Structure 1
């Protein structure tokens, strides 16, 4: 089944230090309880993300966006890998947000960053120090969750 998307947005918070062109891919098989995007669950929904359309967007946003972000899509590994390679060839950083705890090595090789871990409501997201999720810089393996925590929370936590 071809890759489809619910929407494409320019986002500023999902990848710290980057302006990201974000593709919300449909057909997510994970269905995490409390998911903020249940509209992406249905396979076959959304618009087709064709190679020509994707390439046009990469060209259009070059020099403005610095990162290409896929919210899901790992269930289309060949297409995702090809799209990530194209983005990297044009100088974009790349990122995948997944609810899985790991990503196939072939996908990981094409990523600058990866967000791993399912949404667990009582643990919160990347902006919560108790989260199970991890935001990782792939080349170094460095966990960068601290970039999502407000400075006042860090001060409060370290002063106790």
Structure 2
């Protein structure tokens, strides 16, 4: 919790990416405090709650201004475990005219979050089945605007 009593998401990495959301130039944040704990996770540094840096709306605004005209989407890799903090950031990104995406290891998320997303990746990492680039994956990447399953866009 910040000094102002506001709960913020915290992140351990931030990057501009092109592959995580097909067809979009995306500012991606790996949120800390993940409670799913998939065996074989490539982001175990995202597990410890309270680790990382606060992702405040003012910081997000600063980054969006820095990349104005270059980004088309903001991706949160996790954060659904703090729905109010995530909703605030999703609203902020949408008000800036950007699309939004959430990567979650869960199968379902609250409707309030889903309604503020353009894209959603669901499903835990199961090493034997592979990720989105595997034809046997259990994970699903959906364009929520059309309902289209976009997994095929990740195949090699």
Q: State which drifts further: 111-120 or 75-84.
A: 75-84
Pick aligned residue for 1:56 from 41, 51, 62: 62
Return the index of the structure with the highest Cα Rg.
1
The alignment partner of 1:127 has SS state of coil
**Runs of 4+ residues over 2 Å off in structure 1:** none
Choose between structure 1 and 2: higher helix proportion.
1
CA distance in 2, matches of 1:70, 1:133: 16
CA distance in 2, matches of 1:37, 1:67: 21
1:52-96 deviations in Å (ceiling 9; x for gaps): 111111221221111100000001101111111111111111100
CA distance in 2, matches of 1:122, 1:115: 18
Match of 1:88 in 2: 94
**Unmatched tracts of structure 1, length 5 or more:** 151-160
**1:17 equivalent in alignment to 2:19:** no
Normalised to the residue count of structure 1, the TM-score between the two structures is: 0.91
The root-mean-square deviation of aligned C-alpha atoms, in Å, is: 0.9
- Residues matched between the structures, number: 150
- Preserved CA contact (<8 Å) 2:100 2:119: yes
The alignment partner of 1:17 has SS state of coil
**Unmatched tracts of structure 2, length 5 or more:** 2-7
CA distance in 1, matches of 2:13, 2:155: 27
Question: What displacement does 1:15 show?
Answer: 0.4
CA distance in 2, matches of 1:141, 1:102: 15
Match of 2:147 in 1: 141
